Amino acid sequence: MDDVAIVGAGLAGLTLAAALRQAGVPVRVWEQTRTFGTVGAGIQLAPNATRLLHRLGLRDRLRDTAVRPSAIEMRRWDDDAVIARTELGTACERQFGAPYLTVHRADLHEALLGLLPPGTVRPASRCVSVTENDHGATLHFEDGTTDTATLVAGADGIHSAVREGLATDRPRFSGQTIHRALVPAGRVPELLVDPKVVLWLGPDQHAVSYPVADGRLVSFGATVPAATWRTESWTAAGSPGDLAAAYDGWHPQVRRLIDGVDTVSRWALHDRDPVPHWSGRHVTLVGDAAHPMLPFVAQGANQAIEDAIILARCLTETDLSIPEALQRYEQLRRERVDRVHGLSRGNATTFHVDDGAGRRERDDTLAAERRLQEQAWLYGYDAAELPIR
Ligand SMILES: Cc1cc2nc3c(=O)[nH]c(=O)nc-3n(C[C@H](O)[C@H](O)[C@H](O)COP(=O)(O)OP(=O)(O)OC[C@H]3O[C@@H](n4cnc5c(N)ncnc54)[C@H](O)[C@@H]3O)c2cc1C
């Protein structure tokens, strides 16, 4: 492998670039944005991703910038009663050998960027299409320039231009939008005493909070059903007033979080069926480009990081040709990613059950399902040790 071009310097693209570089493969990453700011809000990183990030060299960086929550709790929207609890903290680390962490996306992004030599990422380069030939692929950019490589990896996210050459995008509006904000921790100090990931589940909507940025900020996300809002972008602005109105009557803890919001983004959640094929002969997809999913298992970035490690290993630890290595990568990833995708879709219903007869049944199921030992299939997976040959 001597010539890899990655499209998209998000979490998938940077992890892939770092893994390939550490295996001795030169890479370049084409990114549409001119500068990286503090894009995105919080990301939950489960042991299936943190063990990989530790191996890449980010153990200290994560310790300094992330928060290690003691548990995930699902609570009722009105009285704050705990429905289900997944023990994290030391119990999780003991069981899976790696921590569950919550980070600001910008902190993780900057840490990954720091693993690459200057010049690896080529900004202000929007790829519009990729064409393949027998020996490689050509990238076409918006400004009319091109680049060629023996392998192109599309890590260009949910609206992937690289995916367009492999499959048609068929998003369906889910009927839900999500508001996301970062609240200064000083406005909700009670949430920092014993840091946790908390989900409040109510009829037709739910809210999530957890501290990030070494406990300086609290990441807050709240779904709101909507008939007409359709913008699927992290940078679309929402209104704190609309958010407050949608959560009128919810528990005071949720209201305090909303009162602490200065600015909020609003993102329309679209559902997509699994993408039928991720790879051609010299082109493949990683992360959201390969498996866009609803964010209701908090695993999109975790799965992107796993993809990157497995793809890098298929390319560098086997003697397969590039087309064969891409097929192996897809084979190894497919079942697991489809399972997470299905769970995310299922949670769109589970999280929003109304207060009628089905709620008790839902609560009992969640209480049993969410125990730490039930998460072994998800958190115990080690992409760096998985047999790939
Ligand atoms: C509300 C919400 C909450 C979430 N919470 C979590 C969570 O807690 N845990 C978790 O694991 N996941 C979570 N996710 C999902 C997670 O954010 C994504 O799965 C993850 O960011 C995907 O990474 P990526 O690198 O594939 O895509 P992105 O991070 O979107 O990166 C794509 C990159 O490609 C660039 N790009 C796009 N198009 C082009 C182009 N044509 N040419 C060049 N560059 C291009 C973009 O500018 C960007 O830099 C959440 C998502 C949402 C919406």
Are 127 and 184 part of one and the same domain? no
Domain-terminating residue out of 271, 288, 316 = 271
Q: How high is the pLDDT of residue 235? A: 73
- CA dist., res. 217 & res. 348, Å (int): 26
Measured from the Cβ of residue 58, the count of other Cβ atoms closer than 10 Å reads 21
- List the beta bridge partners of residue 387: none
Domains in the chain: how many in total? 2
Q: Does any domain span residue 57?
A: no
State how far Cα 221 lies from the chain centre.
Answer: 14
What are 296-321's pLDDT values in tens digits?
A: 999 999 999 999 999 999 999 999 99
Average per-residue pLDDT for the chain:
95
Contact 99/50 with Cβ under 8 angstroms? yes
Q: How high is the pLDDT of residue 38? A: 65
Q: Does any domain span residue 18?
A: yes
- CA dist., res. 106 & res. 11, Å (int): 10
The residues lining ligand 1, judged by C-beta closer than 6 Å to any ligand atom, are 7-13, 30-33, 43-44, 126-127, 155-157, 161, 178, 180, 221, 267, 287-289, 295, 298-302, 304
Q: Is 375 helix (H, G, I), strand (E, B) or coil?
A: helix
Contact 34/123 with Cβ under 8 angstroms? yes
Are 161 and 213 part of one and the same domain? no
Are 27 and 152 part of one and the same domain? yes
Active site residue 381: no
Q: Does any domain span residue 327?
A: yes
Q: Does any domain span residue 202?
A: yes
Are 290 and 335 part of one and the same domain? yes
Alpha helices in the chain (DSSP H): 11-22, 47-53, 59-65, 89-96, 105-113, 240-246, 252-259, 300-316, 322-350, 358-369, 376-379
Are 219 and 279 part of one and the same domain? no
Are 321 and 288 part of one and the same domain? yes
Catalytic residue among 210, 247, 329, 379: 210
- CA dist., res. 12 & res. 270, Å (int): 20
Quote the domain boundaries for residue 282. 1-34+123-168+275-352
Q: In angstroms, what is the span from residue 288 Cα to ligand 1's centroid? A: 6
Q: How high is the pLDDT of residue 232? A: 75
Q: In angstroms, what is the span from residue 14 Cα to ligand 1's centroid? A: 11
Q: Does any domain span residue 193?
A: yes
Are 153 and 299 part of one and the same domain? yes
Q: Does any domain span residue 98?
A: no
Is the predicted pLDDT of residue 329 greater than 90, yes or no?
yes
Detail the DSSP E strand segments found in 58-204.
71-76, 82-87, 101-104, 121-122, 127-132, 137-141, 146-149, 151-154, 172-184, 197-202
What are 191-222's pLDDT values in tens digits?
A: 999 999 999 999 999 999 999 999 999 999 99
Domain-terminating residue out of 240, 271, 302 = 271
CB-based burial of residue 77 (10 Å sphere; 0-12 exposed, 13-18 middle, 19+ buried)?
Answer: buried
Are 200 and 220 part of one and the same domain? yes
Q: Which atom of ligand 1 is nearest to the CA of 13?
A: 25
Q: In angstroms, what is the span from residue 81 Cα to ligand 1's centroid? A: 33
What is the domain-level CATH number for residue 190?
Answer: 3.30.9.30
What are 2-50's pLDDT values in tens digits?
A: 789 999 999 999 999 999 999 999 999 999 999 876 667 899 999 999 9
Q: How high is the pLDDT of residue 2? A: 73
Contact 211/185 with Cβ under 8 angstroms? yes
Structure tokens at 37: 């700011």
All residues at 6 or more sequence positions from 248 whose CB lies less than 8 Å from its CB, including other chains? none
Q: How high is the pLDDT of residue 206? A: 98
Q: In angstroms, what is the span from residue 60 Cα to ligand 1's centroid? A: 24
Are 28 and 136 part of one and the same domain? yes
Are 324 and 191 part of one and the same domain? no
- For residue 165, give the amino acid letter: G
Q: How high is the pLDDT of residue 370? A: 87
Contact 344/291 with Cβ under 8 angstroms? no
Please give the share of the chain, as a percent, with pLDDT higher than 90: 91
Query: Mutate which of 14, 28, 32, 272 to test ligand 1's pocket (most atoms within 8 Å of Cβ)?
Result: 32
CA angle 42–44–47, rounded 5-degree value: 155
The pLDDT confidence band at residue 228, using thresholds 50, 70 and 90, is confident
Q: How high is the pLDDT of residue 9? A: 97
Q: Does any domain span residue 44?
A: no
Query: What radius of gyration, in Å, describes the C-alpha atoms of the chain?
Result: 21
Contact 153/322 with Cβ under 8 angstroms? no
Domain-terminating residue out of 219, 240, 271 = 271
Q: Does any domain span residue 346?
A: yes
Are 143 and 180 part of one and the same domain? no
What is the domain-level CATH number for residue 21?
Answer: 3.50.50.60
Are 3 and 147 part of one and the same domain? yes
- CA dist., res. 28 & res. 13, Å (int): 10
- CA dist., res. 264 & res. 287, Å (int): 25
Give nearest CA residue, ligand 1 atom 19. 300
